[in-house]
Structure formats: structure tokens, C-alpha cells
Amino acid sequence: MRLRWEYILAIAGLLVLWWILYLWLGEQIIAEPAATFGRLVRELGDPEFRGHIYASLYRIVAGMLIALATAVPLGLLTGGSERVDRWLKPLIYLTYPIPKIVFLPLLLMLLGIGDASKIGLIAIILFFHLLATTRDAARAVPPSAVSSLRSLGGGSLALLRHVYWPATMPALFTSLRIATGTVVAVLFFVETIATFRGIGYYIYSSWSVTDITGMAVGIIILSAVGIVFYELFDVLERSLCRWTRYR
Amino acid sequence: MEPTSPELLSLQTVSHSYRTYPAVEPVLQDVSFSLNEGASLALLGPSGCGKSTLLMLAAGLLSPLTGSCVFSGQELSRPHPAIALMQQQYGLFPWKTVRQNIELSLLLRQSRVEDAQLQQLIGELGISGKLQDYPGQLSGGQQQRVALARSLLLHPRLMLLDEPFGALDSITRERLQDLLRSVWQREGFAMLTVTHSMQEAVMLGERILVMGGQPGRILHEIDNSGMRAPAFRDSRESAVVLEQLRRALGEAA
């Protein structure tokens, strides 16, 4: 209950701040809060607007799933094996600092202007976050945990399932939570290019016709998407990694 | 004269090195000893003398670079189902509950245990009511009792203990030593304990091998065959062995 009240207070504080900024800067720059929420309610009843939300959610979820399905096994493999790590580490270190967003033109040429290139960019950006985290967490597994399982007769698969995977899960959820903000930002960017679907497009097109209220509606939805994913990862971590409370 | 029990574990002129590229760091040199069924042996020595490496070799987790490591007549090249390893820390998986930790060992060894048998054992070890807890919720002593339960349920012929009670306070350590001694005498498994505590070596080893040097080798062997006696802890005999050990370690240094 305490958490819920803190949330309500935080939302109230943000609304007050928004209202002050509106009064200070005027409706040419900041949308009027009450009108924005009225528009938001109307838009949520509009199937076309909901289609924008679904398009954005689809791109985020698909990008996340692709990144998880590729980065986690590779991270576990690299972090769990000195030999694999020796070969892959230089590649990871060389490619990790590259701003992946610059690959969008290349992805547009390779995958076309549809969803694939947008999902691809989200997946690539998230992939490197998750790969680095999973690798580091797997490398931090104490050798005694490995020898303990091996002494019980566990092989490589048992090690992955019973040691490396559960040991890296908390770090993975932390990485997903941190990356949520980046993913939403990238989503906005990719949805401003070569598309007519998605909340990013909705914000961009509202801006192009100086529809300040429309922009605010889009920003609220995009923020809500980020908050929902952040909270979802938090809930998942609390239920799947209960043991971390007793570390 | 009591009949001698058959030899269970034998290490012959074992040497081992770790490769820390580009260097090679020798950790053990020409170590030989054997352990009979139901007997106990303690390896005592300072940190870095290769004791834990020796235990990894006996567990089948490492293969010696030279020499042989034979368990029950067979060369050890992988973990053997009749050998249980109990480690000082992280022997339990913190992400699994006590029950899951215990069941995992049975699952990996493709073994089963009746719930009544499990309840009886954890009752005896004083950890009843802890099955749903995570290791992080338990004290150090309780964690080691769980680790002991996990090992005992496998009905090992050889129990390997790596600094088993080193992280515990002295009262808990003594209680667990006594518990382990009584279970060992009742169950009849052989026991190989690695420790840097002289007191622990005296309480857990019928024979005590003093290790030292770098690379590590066996410097002294001390007979402690009286340790099976119930009141051994406070006996004059244990004090004599302790003194012998102190002198041997002094010479080794």
C-alpha cells in the first residue's frame, strides 16, 4: 500500500509541475493538462489511435524477444567458458561502444522500411546491453558453485540450467529495466522515419502540425509504455528471483 | 588385531600445475597417500599449499598432470557417484530453497529418497521446518547442516570436506564437528577433510597429513587413531596430537 501512495504522490507532483510550466510558458509550448487528458480519453476510444499503440508495443516486444533469445545464450556461453570468452571478448569490446543507432540506414536498406528494420534496431541496441550484463554476471559465478554442481555429476546443460541461468537472472532484469528507457527512446526515433504507424509517428505528426495537445497525449502514452515495462520487469524479478531478498 | 578395511582412495606421486598463460604455476609435487573404506584423513596446511587442489583431484573434478588418482580400483577421470563433496562456502545454491538444493543432488545422481527418510535426516540434523527457506535465510551453521544432509542422502562411500566449518563461530564449529563424527562412525563412509585448523584436523582425522611448501607436498604424517573415542575432544591424547601438529607445522614453516 505504501508503494501505491508514493506513486500517487509522485504523479500528483508531476501534474503540479506540468501545470506550473503550462502557466509559465503558455499553451504555445506546453499543453493544457485538463484538455490533454480529455483528448487522451477520446483517443483511447479511437481504433486508429489504439492501432498506433499496438504497433509500438509490437515493435518493442519483438525487439526485446529477439535480443533476449540471442544475447542471453551467447552471454551465458561467453561468461561460462574461458575459451569462448577469449575469442569473443575482443569482438564484444570492439562493438559495444559503437552507437548502434547509426545502423538504421543500413537496416532500412537490408530489411526494408517496414517493421523489420525498426525491430532490428531495437533488438541490436538491447542485444549489446543484455550480452554485456549476462556475460559479466556469468563470469561472477563463484567457481565453487560450478565445482559443487559438477561434483554432483552435473554436466554443461545442468550447469546452464541450475547455476549460470538462475545466477544471472537478477542482473538480467536490472539490465532490462535500465534499457527500457533506451528502448523507448529508440522506438520514438525509428517511428519518425518511413512509417505511418506507432506512437513515435503520432508525436512527430502532431508536432509537424503544431498540435501541442496531440504531442502531449503521445508523450503520455510513450511514458506509460516505458513505466509498464519497467514495472513488469520489477514484478518478474521479485517473483522469479525471490532469493535475492536474502543475499 | 582388527582386520584392515580395503583401500578406497589412492593417490600415487600426484603432481599438478595451473596454467596461467603464459606461465605455469606448479601447485602439487609427488603427493602420495591412500584412504581405506570407513577411515578418516585430514590434510592440514597453510593457505596456498595445494590442499583444495588435492580435494578437487580426489573429487574427480581435476585430473593430475602426472601420477594417478584411483577410487575403488578405477582411475578417477570424472566425478564419481559414490563421492560427495562438501565445501566451505557456496556449496549450496542460494537461488534454490533448502528442499530444492537437496532434491537437485538426488536429481543429478538419478537417485530418489522417501520423504519420511528426508524428514528423519533433517530432524536429526536440526533443520526441520527449513525446507522452504533459501540458504540466505539460514545461519552459517544451518547452511552447513543442509550441505551435510544433501551429501548424506547420496549415501557416499567417500565424503570430501573442504574447510567444512571454517567460517563458523567456535561453538557452532564444535557442535558440527561432533555431529559429523557421530554420523561418520554410524554410516561408515570414508572422510577426507582439508583444513587449515589444527583443532579441526585433530577432531576429524584418524591420520593427519601436514602439507607445506610451494609446490605443495606432504611433509609429515601423524597418527591420531584414538580420535574415535567419544570423549576425545577433552582427552589428554587430543592435546598430545595437537602439540605434535604444532611442532610439525613449525618445522614445515
Give pLDDT tens digits for A12-24. Answer: 999 999 999 999 9
Across the range B122-134, mean pLDDT stands at 88
Domain range annotation of chain B: 7-82+157-252, 93-155
| Cβ(B161)–Cβ(B204) below 8 Å | yes
| Cβ(B10)–Cβ(B17) below 8 Å | no
pLDDT of A175 > 90? The answer is: yes
How are strands ordered across the β-sheet holding B7-20? B23-36, B7-20, B66-71, B74-75
Average pLDDT along chain A: 93
User: Of A237 and B49, which is predicted with more confidence?
Assistant: A237
Close Cβ partners of A217 (under 8 Å, ≥ 6 residues apart): A36, A39, A40, A43, A202, A206
In angstroms, the CA B51 to CA B16 distance is: 12
Residue B4 binned pLDDT confidence (cut-offs 50, 70, 90): low
Q: Rounded to two decimals, what is the model's pTM?
A: 0.84
A153 closest CB neighbour out of B92, B109, B135: B109
Query: Which of A85, A141, A151, A240 is the best substitution to test chain B (most B C-beta atoms within 10 A)?
Result: A151
pLDDT of B105 > 90? The answer is: no
Inter-chain residue contact B90 with A148, CB threshold 8 Å: yes
pLDDT in tens, A75-89: 999 999 888 999 998
Which chain A residues contact residue B83 at CB under 8 A?
151
Domain range annotation of chain A: 55-246
Inter-chain residue contact A142 with B90, CB threshold 8 Å: yes
Chain B residues contacting A via beta carbons under 8 Å = 56, 59-61, 79, 81, 83-85, 87-96, 104-105, 108-109, 134-137, 160
Residue A2 binned pLDDT confidence (cut-offs 50, 70, 90): low
pLDDT of B90 > 70? The answer is: no
A243 closest CB neighbour out of B61, B95, B104: B95
pLDDT for res B253: 67
In angstroms, the CA A72 to CA A65 distance is: 10
Q: Does residue B4 sit in helix, strand or coil?
A: coil
Across the range A162-189, mean pLDDT stands at 95
pLDDT for res A210: 92
Distance of residue B83 Cα from the nearest chain A Cα, in angstroms:
8
State which residue of chain A sits closest to B57, comparing Cα positions: A151
Which amino acid would we find at residue A227? I
Instruction: Determine whether B50 is exposed, middle or buried from the number of CB atoms within 10 Å of its CB (0-12, 13-18, 19+).
Output: buried
B90 closest CB neighbour out of A145, A154, A246: A145
Q: Within a 10 A sphere around the Cβ of B106, how many other Cβ atoms? A: 16
pLDDT of A182 > 90? The answer is: yes
Query: Which of A85, A152, A164, A242 is the best substitution to test chain B (most B C-beta atoms within 10 A)?
Result: A152
pLDDT in tens, B137-191: 998 888 888 998 888 888 899 999 998 887 788 888 898 899 899 999 999 999 9
Inter-chain residue contact B83 with A152, CB threshold 8 Å: no
pLDDT in tens, B207-228: 999 998 888 999 999 999 999 9
Q: Does residue B195 sit in helix, strand or coil?
A: strand
In angstroms, the CA A16 to CA A30 distance is: 13
In angstroms, the CA A135 to CA A141 distance is: 10
CATH superfamily of A55-246: MetI-like (1.10.3720.10)
**Which architecture characterizes domain B7-82+157-252 according to CATH?**
3-Layer(aba) Sandwich (3.40)
pLDDT for res B23: 81
pLDDT for res B1: 46
In angstroms, the CA A1 to CA B73 distance is: 64
Q: Looking at this predicted complex, what is its ipTM?
A: 0.82
Which chain A residues contact residue B79 at CB under 8 A?
150-153
In angstroms, the CA B111 to CA B131 distance is: 19
In angstroms, the CA B45 to CA B205 distance is: 14
Distance of residue A161 Cα from the nearest chain B Cα, in angstroms:
11
State which residue of chain A sits closest to B153, comparing Cα positions: A152
pLDDT of A107 > 50? The answer is: yes
In angstroms, the CA A121 to CA A63 distance is: 8
pLDDT of A190 > 90? The answer is: yes
* Among B77, B24, B22, residue whose Cα is nearest residue B215: B24
